Amino acid sequence: MSYDFDLFVIGAGSGGVRAARFAAGYGARVAVAESRYLGGTCVNVGCVPKKLLVYGAHFADDFEQASGFGWSLGEANFDWTTLIANKNREIERLNGIYRNLLTSSGVSLFEGHARIVDAHTVEVNGQRHSAERILIATGGWPQIPDIPGREHAISSNEAFFLKQLPKRVLVVGGGYIAVEFASIFHGLGAQTSLLYRGDLFLRGFDGAVREHLREELSKKGLDLQFNADIASIERKADGSLAATLKDGRVLEADCVFYATGRRPMLDNLGLENVEVKLDKRGYIEVDDLFQTSTPSILALGDVIGRVQLTPVALAEGMAVARRLFKPEEYRPLDYSMIPTAVFSLPNIGTVGLSEEQAIEAGHKVKIFESRFRPMKLTLTENPERTLMKLVVDADSDRVLGCHMVGPEAGEIVQGLAIALKAGATKQIFDETIGVHPSAAEEFVTLRTPVSR
């Protein structure tokens, strides 16, 4: 049977664009449909603008520390509208880059909502297109709980376009988005409270990392409220918000920001027209080859709910393109040893197993840990301390996990991720000469395991 396209991709986010570009480069006839953002969540309302706002928030610390190095500064003033306008300009530039990446690769771009008609047909803007294979890469969407007054709350989608910086912010959630935005709002000068319904945020991260970040954020004056959750939100006559907690307390704020999870973006996608199964969480079920229960339809990225990180979606997109159109270069995707960062202030960088995960997996572990004041802060009044931790298998000497809380943690851990992926042992770390003076050298000078 003859089709209009060999591959029709729904969603021009990181994974979809990567799959489309490389499939076209391998000679396939490819189309992409996108109804919202070229570049997807990451470029438009995710990683990229978030990191720009984190940079902006960090200047407060830089200005405060400058006097210790002899700098005399006048009163610092922050203008939210300038930051947002400059951010918007950069995102528009990136949108153009994504457009050019697709069109210069020979991909047909359709700007509109795509809906699956059948196993080989997609409809966009009233026009139908046939394809041998359809790839769903529509990503995720933030969720706000169904509580009275939920219409008064915002998510990360709206936070990037606020007209002004709120004076008082309640951030609700315990994942990396909540922690990052709490740091952003607090660093930019808003009175910020972080509410989480559990005992401690960042579930799944190493316990020492979670505790250390709690201590550092508290020292900075960020209000952390654990075992706390909002029951309802009410708009007051003066425009402010009153959030009633489940324990009966009432907190007043100018903005309530929810970061309590994301759902797969499957709205009006036409899945009812095909045999595509969802798992119990609502994500699309796929096999190891990213195929759904309908053989001609594939899915990847946040919509399948595996590891919801941009670089993982990129790797999945590459894997799909290679398997379908360049099989001699195809390699199954390995989800182990995926590094990640939380751009809180201070940052978190981590790769491999936490201490808790290693023990649960049956490893006999040795733990090497160091907490110290970064050299840059020794001439300042800033009491912030850095945490570095290695989780080592006691029998094989292999380093199972590497964790850091401190400045540039993501940059440092990226290099160490290569070592862990290659199977480095603690002996190799010990035999590696450090870069001096640097914080990173601490990872190769840890000698004495801590006792538990």
Is 440 annotated as a binding-site member? Answer: no
Query: Is 179 one of the annotated binding-site residues?
Result: yes
Q: Is 144 annotated as a binding residue?
A: no
In 3D space, the residue among 276, 262, 329, 281 whose CA is nearest the CA of residue 10 turns out to be 276
| Three-class DSSP category at 271 | helix
Find out whether 189 is annotated in a ligand binding site. Answer: no
Tell me if 302 is assigned to a ligand binding site. yes
Helix (H) or strand (E) holding 255, with range, is strand 255-258
Has 399 been labeled as part of a binding site? Answer: no
* C-alpha closest to that of 46 among 247, 222, 308, 273: 308
CA 95, 314, 406 angle in degrees (round to 5)?
90
261 is in an annotated binding site: yes
Please report, for residues 2, 52, 216, 310, the alpha-carbon distance to residue 46 in angstroms, rounded to integers and kept in the order given: 39, 10, 24, 10
DSSP state of 154: B
CA dist., res. 129 & res. 135, Å (int): 13
Long-range contacts of residues 435-442, Cβ cutoff 8 Å, at least 24 apart: 437/375, 439/374, 439/375, 439/386, 439/388, 439/406, 439/407, 439/408, 439/412, 440/412, 440/415, 442/370, 442/372, 442/386, 442/388
The answer to whether 180 is annotated as binding is yes
Q: Is 326 annotated as a binding residue?
A: no
369 marked ligand binding residue: no
- Residue 144: alpha-carbon gap to chain centroid: 18
Pairs from 323-326 (Cβ < 8 Å, separation ≥ 24)? 323/289, 324/6, 324/7, 324/23, 324/28, 324/133, 325/6, 325/7, 325/22, 325/23, 325/26, 325/27, 325/28, 326/22, 326/26
Active site residues: 436
User: CA-to-CA distance for 192 and 183, rounded, in angstroms?
Assistant: 8
Our CA angle for 362, 365, 369, nearest 5°, is: 145
Helix (H) or strand (E) holding 50: helix 47-66
Residue 6, marked binder: no
The torsion angles phi and psi of 172, rounded to 5 degrees, stand at -115, 120
Longest dimension (CA), the chain: 74
* DSSP structural state of residue 346: S
What is the C-alpha separation between 426 and 163, in angstroms, rounded?
A: 51
How many other C-beta atoms can be found within 10 angstroms of the C-beta atom of residue 398?
18
Identity at 308, one-letter amino acid code: Q
Bind-site residues for FAD: 51, 302
Bind-site residues: 51, 173-180, 261, 302
Bind-site residues for NAD(+): 173-180, 261
